[in-house]
Structure 1
Amino acid sequence: MNSLIDIKNVSFTYPNEKEPILKDVHLTVEKGEFLAVIGGNGSGKSTLCKLLNGLIPHYYSGDFEGEAVINGLNSATSTVAELSEHVGYVYQDFENQIVQARVLEDAAFAPLHFGYSDYLERARNALTIVGLQDYEDEFVWQLSGGQKHLLALAGCLALNPEIIVLDEPIAQLDPYHAKQMYEILRKLHCEHNKTIIVIEHHTEFIAEYCSEVLLLDKGKIVWKKSVKEALTAVSDLTVRNIFPPQVTQAANALKLETLPITLREACDTFAKFKRHELSSSNGVSSSSISKPVAEFKEVDFSYQTVERSYKKILENINISFYQGEKVAIVGNNGAGKSTLLRLLTGFRKPQSGQVYVKGKLTAKQSPEKLADIVTYIYQNPEQMFIEDSVRKDVEFYLKARNRKGYEETVDYILELFHLTELQDKDSRLMSGGQQRRASLAIGAAMDPAVILLDEPTANLDIATRKQLIQFIDKLADRTELVLMATHDMQLVSEWATRVVVMNNGQIIYDGNKDGLFSNPMLMRRAGIIPPQIVELSNQLNITPAKYTIDSFIELFQEEPGWIMQKT
């Protein structure tokens, strides 16, 4: 095998930082690897990968030591342009990579500017690989979020690089498009002989698709192992707040000698053991309560395109939400989830039909007035930040409304969301998890009747997502109704009391989790893939399905001591 990447003694320190983000890193990546890079927030994953295309040391200034050789090119003496022909990079904020108005133009941008005469052929081949060959004349803004992500990948593939790096490739994708992305990466790996490197938090995808795993901690490489060895090194992972696949966690909790890492392995493992039949209740809707908190009556919504035609986003929406509910609104990218939420804020008005919040018709209320009872917490927390410190952001609304005694309220909210020690810090300079907490605190301080959450766990590692669920529950305790648009099926399975499924602007399911996760046809239609522990329950014919690891392992617990008995 030939080494494509050879990194020796590399250390890197960003300007104004005392500690290096990378510390004496040694790494070899062979041709044909499918490598997952894992580690907690701030461990140096993205910085390490930016070595590969020359952004470090050429674009990001700082103190650089050591040597990085990429497909025979020294990153310090080669330009970013030279390296980009060997390394394709899809960033976490992939929409910033899209620079042209139409799909084919964008895919052709790189080979055109590198002077390749066959730039259109390269672009069309790349679009075919990612499944966008029928969209080449479309405007970029007409694409869904998942399609834009694939276009960013196509733009890299048009240069036919040996190495493809993706920073959290499925962070903003619904489950169906997440799987589609990894199937494309598998095709590139197996059929086109590409070396793939992904920065990934979702260990279930790592188990299914990757061949090796690199663990980083505080800027140092802990180990590089085969995927099986890596994901069964449970203590190494959990001590760093990295969670193995759900099936691996369950088997480890039951102290099995051999730990599965994929659903297939887990089905074979757990089918050998007896299990108890336990009663279970997974929560039901509160729709028996007579008066709704929020209500949609025959609502349609469209927007006008640049071609002056109208694109329908919501069609004939009739639904009511009630006090005490924790509602997850799910569905594939472009299903209309975020639009549904925004109609409740008054910033958007229905094309036809009526939307009510606490009995008020939103069409006759200003967004400023509705803000007294409805708070929308954006997917990007930075959209919630106005001032130069966490405390000022949290108190902004209260001060603007001249609320008496707001200082005490702010003190309480900061303590509730574990932000007291961070209150003087600029919210924009905090970690992703801290920014999420700050955005939730801003919403809680407004003391609304309804809180709307748009993808609250996007771009967070699993440990931070688990912690965030606790803070979302604190929001639910302070308000009448929480509505959440999300692709995070683990969050849905552990948190929601009611699930609304949307597809092409319509509601195609409204009920509990059992009804959703036991209906394969419905899930396929809406692009939903259940959490791994739910899939395992279904494969083992466990009814009702288990939604948490703890509830699953209870089925196999004989006596204290976790004694397992084969059938």
Structure 2
Amino acid sequence: MRNTILELNKINFTYPGAEQPVLQDVDLRLGEGDFIAIIGSNGSGKSTLCKCFNGLIPHYYTGDFSGEVTVCGQSADGKSVAELSKRIGYVYQDFENQLVRPTVLDDVSFTPLNYGFTDYKERGERALALTGLSDLRHEFIWQLSGGQKHLLALAGALAMDPEILVIDEPVAQLDPQHARHIYDILQRLNEEHGKTIVVIEHHAEFIADYCKNVVLMDQGKMCWQKPVREALSSVQELLELGIYPPDVTRAAWLLQPDDQKSKLLPLNAEEGSTRMTLRQDAKETLPIGRMQEQLPIAAKEGNSIVQLENVHLSYRTIHKVLHPVLNGIQLELGQEESIALIGNNGAGKSSLMKLIAGIVRPTAGTVKVKEMTVNGLPPERLSGTVAYVFQNPEEMFIEDSVRKEIAYYLKARKLPDTDGRVDEMLKAFRLSELAERDARLLSGGQQRRVSLAIGAAVRPAIMLLDEPTANLDISTKQEMVHVLETLRNHVKTVVIATHDMQLVSEWASRIIVMHQGRVIADGTKDEIFADGLLLRRAGLAQTQLMELSRMLGLPRICISLEEFVSLVEKKEVAAIHGSR
């Protein structure tokens, strides 16, 4: 039994003005060297719980608080956030707000300097080495990628050499390769340096591969604390709460006979391939991948809505060096298409969409939308034709109610029948009951629906969505597929930039793969997802079901859970092995 490093007893907390407590009688115990995931749907109390660890609750976030917190054997009562933060490092969901100095080394050394440590620079250098950022020590913060900024926020917490590290959404907005890199670093900190790691996480695949234990939260209550395999094998219970275990785990659960539902289940494709056995004569061999570049898909004659002709985009760095972002983009987007832009962080997806929206202008080449040349055109001229929905929906909110938010953009454009259009959008995006609520105080999924309603209200020809499922739990992500389907009734063409392969597989009719500012593939779901080498080159990853399809020798790569289960049943599963 590990020594207890953090203990919470009978924790209750209610925010000012709230009718219901956000935490109710929570008892939690963390052992030294644990790697624990806290899961639950949006609003279940996960982040609030973790803010109790380092005294942010009750010292910074005021409200009704009761209960006892013990850190490293000492009561936290009477200790300030500053005192507790020496032992508990915290990386917040909005981690960029933790970066406060202009250069990497200045920033990572900032906290130990403020605590008066004479070796603050040595601490900073050590933290950079642990996170693999040493070569970037003299870079300016704004020159870093999203993944590098996230690692820098982690390094800043590590500079104090805390016993416990809490990371809220470690891989939000990161491509799969950068996400796995961050988890590899967390694993090394846990196993080689003895750090106790706590992650708030929605991605069950990462929980399965890296975590040791899982805490389930629901409506402010802690339901249980279990070892990771037992936790993720509780499929029925998790699904009832809108939490999705790994696809392989769900597939094995669905394929099990009813009398074996209590078995512990496989958590990844490798385990799935050993525990699910097809009849030998049912197996086929699928190709590993082609790495064959698909030619760009041309829009049907008269159907083109966007044309990019040899488009380049560069910007000057602080050192006056020209940095290329897009290199010779040649694309046509047609009407009635559902297009997914995929690729690793820094591939140029957001820049491409901003060019189409007129937010930035190309260094060379021509961008046309509905035969109108966009180059240098003020974005306001395009606002009725192109709607760009930002990655952070709250950036679009300026009024004090959802109804006013939607109406504002309609009135600004002097569009007719404002009230009728607002009511139509409230109904279409299931916002009627939230119409008088302040959009900034809604959940992440609700805010996303508001931002889409704002964009759809002006009935643009094309809507551009940047990471529409970022920071959403898996249940809310599933809901986004239905919301995007709703958009089809109001917008001719929808383009999303995303790392969410599940969303792409369920929604997109066309996939454009970007890498280092170029389009390296353009095709259908079947063409793109069958090419494992292409996905790896673009910093992406096949889903578990795609990997398992290949390992089991199914006749085609399966994209959805329903397709996989149906195909496996047809091929006749010889055995589903499990362990009690």
**Shorter-chain TM-score: which interval?**
over 0.9
**Equivalent of 1:268, from 258, 269, 274?**
274
Quote how far apart the aligned CAs of 1:525 are.
2.2
Residue 36 of structure 1 corresponds to: 37
Structure 2: stretches of 5+ with no match in the other structure:
285-294
Residue 304 of structure 1 corresponds to: 316
Q: Distance in 2 between matches of 1:456 and 1:538?
A: 29
Mark the CA change 1:323 to 1:265 in structure 2 (over 3 Å): closer, same or farther. Answer: same
Cα deviation code 1:399-441 (max 9, x no counterpart): 2333332322221221111011111111111111111011111
RMSD of aligned Cα (Å):
2.0
**Equivalent of 1:289, from 279, 294, 300?**
300
Quote how far apart the aligned CAs of 1:72 are.
2.3
Quote how far apart the aligned CAs of 1:275 are.
9.3
The alignment status of 1:496 with 2:508, answered yes or no, reads yes
Residue 281 of structure 1 corresponds to: none
Residue 522 of structure 1 corresponds to: 534
Residue 552 of structure 2 corresponds to: 540
Once the two structures are superposed, the pairs formed by residues 125-164 of structure 1 within 5 Å of their partners are: 125-164=126-165
Counterpart residue identity of residue 298, structure 2: S
Mark the CA change 1:275 to 1:554 in structure 2 (over 3 Å): closer, same or farther. Answer: farther
Residue 436 of structure 1 corresponds to: 448
407-416 vs 371-380, greater mean Cα deviation: 407-416
Counterpart residue identity of residue 290, structure 1: E
Residue 288 of structure 2 corresponds to: none
Counterpart residue identity of residue 271, structure 1: T
Q: Distance in 2 between matches of 1:543 and 1:410?
A: 48
Q: Distance in 1 between matches of 2:296 and 2:418?
A: 35
TM-score by length of 2: 0.93
Once the two structures are superposed, the pairs formed by residues 355-434 of structure 1 within 5 Å of their partners are: 355-363=367-375, 365-434=377-446
Mark the CA change 1:397 to 1:276 in structure 2 (over 3 Å): closer, same or farther. Answer: farther
Q: Distance in 2 between matches of 1:100 and 1:400?
A: 38
Residue 252 of structure 1 corresponds to: 253
Quote how far apart the aligned CAs of 1:541 are.
3.2
Residue 192 of structure 1 corresponds to: 193
The alignment status of 1:68 with 2:80, answered yes or no, reads no
Q: Distance in 2 between matches of 1:275 and 1:69?
A: 59
Mark the CA change 1:566 to 1:72 in structure 2 (over 3 Å): closer, same or farther. Answer: closer
Q: Distance in 1 between matches of 2:219 and 2:496?
A: 34
Counterpart residue identity of residue 161, structure 1: P
Q: Is the 8 A contact 1:331 1:501 kept in 2?
A: yes
TM-score by length of 1: 0.95
Q: Distance in 2 between matches of 1:356 and 1:154?
A: 44
Residue 476 of structure 1 corresponds to: 488
Mark the CA change 1:344 to 1:168 in structure 2 (over 3 Å): closer, same or farther. Answer: same
Residue 522 of structure 2 corresponds to: 510
Secondary structure at 2:495's aligned position in 1? strand
Mark the CA change 1:548 to 1:277 in structure 2 (over 3 Å): closer, same or farther. Answer: farther
Secondary structure at 2:193's aligned position in 1? coil
Quote how far apart the aligned CAs of 1:273 are.
5.1
Q: Distance in 1 between matches of 2:237 and 2:398?
A: 40
Q: Distance in 1 between matches of 2:309 and 2:402?
A: 39
Cα deviation code 1:244-271 (max 9, x no counterpart): 1111111112225342122221111223
Q: Number of paired residues?
A: 559
Secondary structure at 1:507's aligned position in 2? strand
Quote how far apart the aligned CAs of 1:524 are.
2.4
The alignment status of 1:170 with 2:171, answered yes or no, reads yes
Quote how far apart the aligned CAs of 1:288 are.
5.2
The alignment status of 1:317 with 2:318, answered yes or no, reads no
Q: Distance in 1 between matches of 2:247 and 2:145?
A: 30
Mark the CA change 1:543 to 1:126 in structure 2 (over 3 Å): closer, same or farther. Answer: farther
Secondary structure at 1:557's aligned position in 2? helix
Cα deviation code 1:350-388 (max 9, x no counterpart): 111000111110026331121111000111111222222
**Equivalent of 1:458, from 451, 470, 487?**
470
Q: Is the 8 A contact 2:532 2:542 kept in 1?
A: no
Counterpart residue identity of residue 165, structure 1: V
Secondary structure at 1:67's aligned position in 2? strand
Mark the CA change 1:40 to 1:447 in structure 2 (over 3 Å): closer, same or farther. Answer: same
Quote how far apart the aligned CAs of 1:508 are.
1.5
Mark the CA change 1:424 to 1:276 in structure 2 (over 3 Å): closer, same or farther. Answer: farther
Q: Is the 8 A contact 1:305 1:311 kept in 2?
A: yes
Q: Distance in 2 between matches of 1:240 and 1:189?
A: 29
Counterpart residue identity of residue 531, structure 2: N
Quote how far apart the aligned CAs of 1:558 are.
4.8
The alignment status of 1:182 with 2:178, answered yes or no, reads no
Counterpart residue identity of residue 267, structure 2: I
Cα deviation code 1:86-142 (max 9, x no counterpart): 111100000001111111111111122222222222211211111111100100110
Secondary structure at 2:10's aligned position in 1? strand
Cα deviation code 1:198-251 (max 9, x no counterpart): 000111111111000001111111110000110011121111111111111111
Residue 567 of structure 2 corresponds to: 555
Q: Is the 8 A contact 1:276 1:555 kept in 2?
A: no
Identity %: 48
Secondary structure at 1:64's aligned position in 2? strand
Counterpart residue identity of residue 90, structure 1: V
Residue 28 of structure 2 corresponds to: 27
Cα deviation code 1:132-188 (max 9, x no counterpart): 111001001100000000000011111111111000111121111111111111111
Once the two structures are superposed, the pairs formed by residues 34-113 of structure 1 within 5 Å of their partners are: 34-113=35-114
Q: Distance in 1 between matches of 2:400 and 2:114?
A: 41
Mark the CA change 1:182 to 1:388 in structure 2 (over 3 Å): closer, same or farther. Answer: same
